[in-house]
Structure 1
Amino acid sequence: MFTRRSKIRIETERMTLRLPMHSDYLDWRDLRSQGQTFLQPWEPQWAADHLSRKGFTNRVYWAQRSVVAQTALPLFLVRREDNVLLGALTLDNIRRGPAQAGTVGYWIGHGFARQGYMREALAAVVHYSFTKLDLSRVEAACLPENTASRGVLEKAGFKYEGVAQSYLQINGRWRNHVLYSSLRNDRRGPTQVGLA
């Protein structure tokens, strides 16, 4: 579980997953601005202050409040060998009670894509969700044409569940999304349904 003073760190083979800090601003801004063309087709429309220090400061405070409230776990992916910021992954919308579920979203810098970092991070966060947070289900959604995201979800053990119509507003338009999940006690076999 989260604690008010906990320093959440998840170690993987190549990375440390940790909460964002104010000192990450310049690395985050550079990674996001350099990858803007790569990221924007898959993300909600960026606000005017998206890359500003104030916008980032608000994100850091949101991350801290979310961890205390136990509603989200926002993590930066930092490569251990050289302390380079690679991207971010957030377990959000954590629901307790009968659901015991959360929704994961993620992005990776253009120069670090397709190197297995996000699959490694997803696998670690799913394991943490099941063993430390006692969740039963981790959900994810992506655009149907985002084959890279679909591939990383499937390699991390997520299973295709269907399509949600007008699920999220991406790059200024309401878009359908394909839905995936990872279950703590998953008895489902591999799926080929919904794969293009």
Structure 2
Amino acid sequence: MKKISQHIYVRTLTESDAEALLTLERENRTYFQQFTPLVQDDFFTVPRQKERINRSMQRRAKDEAYMHGIFLNETDALIGTISLNSVERGPIQGALLGYVLDEKQGGKGYMTEAIRLIIDYAFYELYLHRIEAGVKPSNIGSIRVLEKTGFENEGLHRKKVKINDKWEDHYWFAIIHPDES
């Protein structure tokens, strides 16, 4: 799957992306740890990134999750990841959105473009009804991106995710398929 917008494209990651993924994770380790659960040091190796990519391909084959890289159109540089996780079929038809972006690329509209591409993919190719996303109240940039892309804040989940050994509150956002709202 490859989706293209004005400045970026998203596509499924392959094993050949492992080194670029590792570089992204290493260069942004401190930045990402503000918003995501801690990972062990062995996460920061090429074999672990290959394993991560292969696990994502297995989960895709089972219709459980869809992990994509975010790449710049001009250079094909990997600048982030965006995923649909915890896919539920049947009466739910939903998934959880997760994403990270290279700190140096923030504020340029790339994540807004990526989320719009993934929303389109989720609703019109995966036939999902609802996409949800959690975000720390202190992550103002992420909140703005979700709001710009049509997500609505549905409330606060107290002590929802353990980040850096501390249970953190998260606002819960959701977007409903526009043809089914």
TM-score by length of 1: 0.88
Q: 1:21 to 1:187 in 2, by over 3 A?
A: closer
1:72 and 2:65 matched = yes
Q: Give the direction of change, closer, same or farther, for the CA distance of 1:140–1:186 in structure 2 (3 Å limit).
A: farther
Q: CA deviation at 1:26?
A: 2.2
Contact kept, 8 Å, 1:19 with 1:63, in 2: the verdict is no
Structure 1 match to 2:37: 44
Distance in 1 (CA, whole Å) between partners of 2:108 and 2:47 is 31
The residue type paired with residue 18 of structure 1 is R
Within a 5 Å distance, the mapping from 1:48-67 to structure 2 comes to 48-67=41-60
**Which one of 140, 143, 148 corresponds to residue 136 of structure 2?**
143
What amino acid does structure 1 have at the position aligned with 2:35? W
Secondary structure of the structure 2 residue equivalent to 1:41: coil
The percent of aligned pairs where both chains have the same amino acid is 27
SS at match of 1:161: strand
How far apart are residue 16 of structure 1 and its match?
A: 2.0
Equivalent of 1:81 in 57, 74, 78? 74
2:105 matches 1:112 = yes
TM-score (norm 2): 0.94
Aligned length: 181
What stretches of structure 1 of length at least 5 have no aligned partner?
Answer: 1-7, 189-196
Q: Please, which runs of 5 or more residues in structure 2 have no aligned partner? A: none
**SS of equivalent residue, structure 1 residue 27:** helix
- TM superposition outliers: structure 1 runs of 4+ over 6 Å: none
Give the alignment's Cα RMSD to 1 decimal: 1.5
Contact 2:85 2:97 in 1 (8 A): yes
Q: Please report how far the alpha carbon of residue 107 of structure 1 lies from its aligned counterpart in structure 2 after TM superposition.
A: 0.2
